[in-house]
């Protein structure tokens, strides 16, 4: 019987097809005789098959015929192979010693044939998991989708109820959705998360002509708003500069200014209410060995009265666009606020004023401060104007605006620092300094008031004007380096800051 062609294809040694050894000739004759005997001994060829050729070998093996032997095919083939090997070895032993020749290749080929019969070349069965081509796993719950409806997106499949928005957690049923990384969102949820809203009108900030989202943002409060609100008469707090939101109402002062609710909580409205704060700041100066020898009048006034006083004042440099305080050196008649206004809806009404003639008894006639400002801002203005008065009373003459306004802003900043920062101590150059400004406190300050104080300090530090802004930064650097006393002495001698 010819060996199966599949077994021959797995043999790795090709030399069995390159030459015909005596063993192979003998083996061929053996198989021919075996095939003829199984054909019934007759000469008829009607029951034979056409010969099969292997590669380019001239040897012919007849096609196998069905055996009538009851033994199994493997047993018969093994027995025939053993007989062929035994006959080959016996014939080889009969040859003389000098003429004996043995082909390792023939023996290897025989053993390879035997191994191929006993050990099939097919790989063992691996019971690995088999998934049909239509098998789908849900990317949400990791379960089999089966034969129900499913969604195919983002390179995977989902049950309709498992494809959910990362933000709200509800299923996404729309045909369009937003994707951030690998997280899906409803378009509305994604816009809610990423598209900025105006904090004035509470609408999504529109895009400009170039398709970009353009908005304004306050440098301290980080209040975002549409650019149009800068020109649509939206109210702005005269103290903290925040725009009025559509869901809140600002208070309107009688001189046309607006005041937000937070600033209104600590606003000082008349001259009598401001006197304790004014005396506390004078004590603050005295604690730094900068006592003011003269009793300088202090008045709270309206915007119009302050502007009229500025016009009548010959000396001084005034912060535009709006001045909040003034140190007078000329005799004038000023209308001050005698009684605070009352609240009528969102307006402050019923304010009582009285004209007051100011006479000059020294270099400083009076200090005027705009009414309706929070306590910390009012105190910062008073500290600034009192420094103007101290310089004039101590003989500091003809200072340029950067020097005079700069050092006055430093005193204003120092007082705010002592009020806002609880562990603050005065400048290291003033050994006898004390924080006597604590007498000005109306109980403990709220977090809202502390935040306002930080904003007023931010305003001073980041002022863009040459006199108030740049002057403060140069003066503050000099005070930090040399101390307040040495800086003031250098100003008195040279009219400039020490370098």
For residue 417, which of 405, 402, 435, 432 has the smallest C-alpha distance? 435
Contact, 347 vs 355, CB < 8 A? no
pLDDT tens for residues 77-123? 777 777 777 676 666 556 555 444 444 455 555 555 555 555 554 44
Whole-structure pTM value: 0.63
Of 411 and 345, which is predicted with more confidence?
A: 411
- Using CA atoms, how far residue 143 sits from 33, 137, 139, 161, 212, in Å, is 65, 5, 8, 13, 43
Model confidence over 132-162: pLDDT tens digits?
A: 556 788 988 988 888 778 888 888 889 989 9
Determine the Cα–Cα distance for residues 100 and 259; give it in Å rounded to an integer.
123
Q: pLDDT tens digits for 47-57?
A: 444 443 333 33
Q: Name the pLDDT band for 259 (thresholds 50, 70, 90).
A: very high
Grade residue 45 by pLDDT with cuts at 50, 70 and 90: very low
* pLDDT-wise least confident of 128-137, 306-315, 402-411, 424-433: 424-433
Q: How confident is the model over 61-79, as pLDDT tens digits?
A: 344 444 445 556 667 777 7
Encode pLDDT of 328-383 as tens digits. Answer: 888 788 888 877 777 777 777 777 787 878 777 778 899 999 999 999 999 999 99
Query: In 209-300, which residue ranges form alpha helices assigned H by DSSP?
Result: 261-265, 271-287
Cβ-proximal residues to 307 (8 Å cutoff; 6+ apart), any chain: 323
Residue 65 backbone phi and psi in degrees, to 5: -115, 160
Q: How far apart are CA 396 and CA 491, in angstroms?
A: 8
User: What's the chain's average pLDDT?
Assistant: 77
Say which DSSP state 77 is in.
H
């Amino acid at each position: 019987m010819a060996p199966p062609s599949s077994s021959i294809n797995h043999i790795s040694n090709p030399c069995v097809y390159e030459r015909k050894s005596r063993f192979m000739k003998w083996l061929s004759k053996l198989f021919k005789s075996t095939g003829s005997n199984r054909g019934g001994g007759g000469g008829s060829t009607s029951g034979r098959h056409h010969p099969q050729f292997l590669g380019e070998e001239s040897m012919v093996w007849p096609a196998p015929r069905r055996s009538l032997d009851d033994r199994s095919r493997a047993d018969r083939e093994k027995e025939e192979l053993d007989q062929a090997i035994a006959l080959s070895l016996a014939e080889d032993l009969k040859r003389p010693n000098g003429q004996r020749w043995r082909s390792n290749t023939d023996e290897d080929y025989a053993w390879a044939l035997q191994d191929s019969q006993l050990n099939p070349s097919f790989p063992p069965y691996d019971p690995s998991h088999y998934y049909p081509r239509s098998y789908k796993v849900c990317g949400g719950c990791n379960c089999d989708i089966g034969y129900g409806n499913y969604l195919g997106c983002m390179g995977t499949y989902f049950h309709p109820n498992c494809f959910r928005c990362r933000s709200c957690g509800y299923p996404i049923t729309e045909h369009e959705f937003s994707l951030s990384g690998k997280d899906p969102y409803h378009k509305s949820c994604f816009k809610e998360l990423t598209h900025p809203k105006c904090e004035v009108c509470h609408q999504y900030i529109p895009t400009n002509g170039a398709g970009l989202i353009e908005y304004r943002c306050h440098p301290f409060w980080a209040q975002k708003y549409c650019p149009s609100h800068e020109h649509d008469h939206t109210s702005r707090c005269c103290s903290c500069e925040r725009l009025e939101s559509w869901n809140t109402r600002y208070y309107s002062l009688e001189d046309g200014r607006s005041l937000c609710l937070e600033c209104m909580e600590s606003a000082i409205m008349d001259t009598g209410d401001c006197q304790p704060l004014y005396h506390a700041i004078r004590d603050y100066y005295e604690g730094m060995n900068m006592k003011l020898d003269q009793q300088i009048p202090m008045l709270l006034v309206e915007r119009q009265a302050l502007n009229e006083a500025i016009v009548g004042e010959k000396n001084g440099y005034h912060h535009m666009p709006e001045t909040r305080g003034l140190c007078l050196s000329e005799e004038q008649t000023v209308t001050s606020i005698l009684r605070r206004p009352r609240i009528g809806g969102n307006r402050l009404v019923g304010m009582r004023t009285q004209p007051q003639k100011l006479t000059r008894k020294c270099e400083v006639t009076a200090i005027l401060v705009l009414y309706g400002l929070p306590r910390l801002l009012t105190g910062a203005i008073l500290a600034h104007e009192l420094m103007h008065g101290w310089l004039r009373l101590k003989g500091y003459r003809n200072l340029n605006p950067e020097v005079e306004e700069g050092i006055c802003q430093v005193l204003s900043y120092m007082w705010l620092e002592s009020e806002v920062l609880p562990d603050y101590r005065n400048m290291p150059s003033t050994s006898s300094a004390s924080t006597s400004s604590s007498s000005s406190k109306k109980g403990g300050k709220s977090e809202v008031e502390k935040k306002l104080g930080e904003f007023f300090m931010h305003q001073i530090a980041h002022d863009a004007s040459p006199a108030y802004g740049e002057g403060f930064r140069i003066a503050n650097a000099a005070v930090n380096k040399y101390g307040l006393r040495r800086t003031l002495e250098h100003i008195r001698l040279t009219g400039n800051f020490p370098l």
